[in-house]
Structure 1
């Protein structure tokens, strides 16, 4: 909540919820609001405390929160302060109406599939990351790459492109969509492999079952390879390092109001209309 508009909206939302009998947990250092029903917690404790986390910001803010609270199954309720806001539920200029519906229980919880990305570097222990939208592999220098994608013990193809996006259905409306990938309904249990600017006519998107395990291999000539989680967490790897992507055991729980379906929301967001 570093931006002035988020500070103002944050205090307005706190006051609205306090007036309706809610207790408030705040992440220390983000916003100050003096009240006996408001408690502050460090980052290491905060994400396990609330019954629900109210996120004020755009999709990037919500993605960051999702990767931290998914381990505790805490649902997220987003109010958009960004541009499109595919993942958020309400708009800042209608925050009172949005919170009123929430406090009256006029909502449901939607489970969203996440990805687990395990990276094994030479002479190091494997490290696992989670992503709600996508796992992106590309060269730091934006050069063309040959990426061998494998599943079920077989090679899908050696994809020649500027990079590869492995996306969840949630992420299908993000970078994958911009790269020409399909829109996939969020309840669908699949993963989408989408090359970025493919250099061959037959390098197109693949839609794989959600229970597949995808491994990636790189030629010795590849340099400055980056694995990027949700566009926010960057991991530099070498050609000999192992990359494994599969459905995570964790999921993101989004609070949705009953007034708009996914396809209604999709049409509104893609047309850049704000309701």
Structure 2
């Protein structure tokens, strides 16, 4: 078995956890590969004892059985963009803060690797949202696990986003921006803007305005089989476009549409884990704040 490790940064206090992770992988005779960002992070904290193979090309990633994301949810989102259509199962080892997607705790490393080695897990398919436009953006990595966002830039004035579903006019949103979220992303930016919670297996997108001028405009849930297209107007000539944590600037002439990607993100689901448990534990959902 081959397992790739990916991370963007590493705090010194987590070195002992990383060493324990390597020990557990070696105990099960698992070949360890490391991505270049994590290799740089390990060198920055003075690693000289850990041995591994460095992944230097996408072709080397193709032979991997699992990828372990070491960090928070942002690192896992980066891992999804790294894996792309290879659909390598991803497990998030949480060394960040919230850990809504990166659910494996560092104090359970031995148990986690035992689950992987013995096949005691499930794979969840999470839908991705894919961007299509008339110019190349995001270095061709045009998909996201959480959300696609249009937002105003460099001005205090709102923008107008004319929105269409399969070519049929839906609404013109006068707002600071507009979010199209997957079920996975419904617990993120969309939620903070008043969007609904959606279970991961739901076949839908959520369109959520950001600070809308018309207060009667509310989020709407649409099928993920549809194509959503946009026309943007505003006083500024530039607008901000984002796929998860990646952002770029566009002009109003850019043609934009989103739909479900033809591939999905595969997330490792360990025993005794459930989405509802995470809602309660991470978001304090249903917690009686009067106590």
Task: Please confirm whether the aligned pair reaches a TM-score higher than 0.5, indicating the same fold.
Answer: yes
Of 8, 21, 41, which aligns to 1:13?
A: 21
1:107/1:134 CA distance change after superposition, 3 Å: same
Mapped partners of 1:20, 1:116: distance in 2: 37
Q: Does 1:250 align with 2:258?
A: no
Tell me the CA shift for residue 128 of structure 1: 6.2
Aligned to 1:24: 32
Segments of structure 1 that go 5 or more residues without pairing to the other structure are none
Q: Does 1:137 align with 2:150?
A: yes
Aligned to 1:102: 116
Mapped partners of 2:140, 2:115: distance in 1: 41
Aligned to 1:227: 241
Tell me the CA shift for residue 187 of structure 1: 0.2
Mapped partners of 2:271, 2:242: distance in 1: 34
Tell me the CA shift for residue 44 of structure 1: 3.7
Whether the 8 Å CA contact 1:146–1:160 is kept in 2: the answer is: yes
Mapped partners of 1:63, 1:6: distance in 2: 20
Tell me the CA shift for residue 244 of structure 1: 0.8
Segments of structure 2 that go 5 or more residues without pairing to the other structure are 1-6
Whether the 8 Å CA contact 1:53–1:75 is kept in 2: the answer is: yes
Q: Does 1:78 align with 2:86?
A: no
Tell me the CA shift for residue 233 of structure 1: 1.4
Tell me the CA shift for residue 201 of structure 1: 2.1
Tell me the CA shift for residue 181 of structure 1: 0.4
Aligned to 1:239: 252
Give matches, 1:1-275, under 5 Å.
1=7, 2-3=9-10, 4-28=12-36, 29-30=39-40, 31=42, 33-35=49-51, 38-121=52-135, 129-141=142-154, 143-219=157-233, 221-230=235-244, 232-271=245-284
Tell me the CA shift for residue 256 of structure 1: 0.4
The two structures have a TM-score, normalised by structure 2, of: 0.85
Whether the 8 Å CA contact 2:206–2:220 is kept in 1: the answer is: yes
Tell me the CA shift for residue 103 of structure 1: 2.5
Which secondary structure state, in structure 2, belongs to the residue aligned with residue 18 of structure 1?
Answer: helix
Tell me the CA shift for residue 158 of structure 1: 0.2
The range that moved more, 91-100 or 159-168, is 91-100
Count of residues paired in the alignment: 268
Which secondary structure state, in structure 1, belongs to the residue aligned with residue 207 of structure 2?
Answer: strand
1:50/1:128 CA distance change after superposition, 3 Å: closer
The two structures have a TM-score, normalised by structure 1, of: 0.90
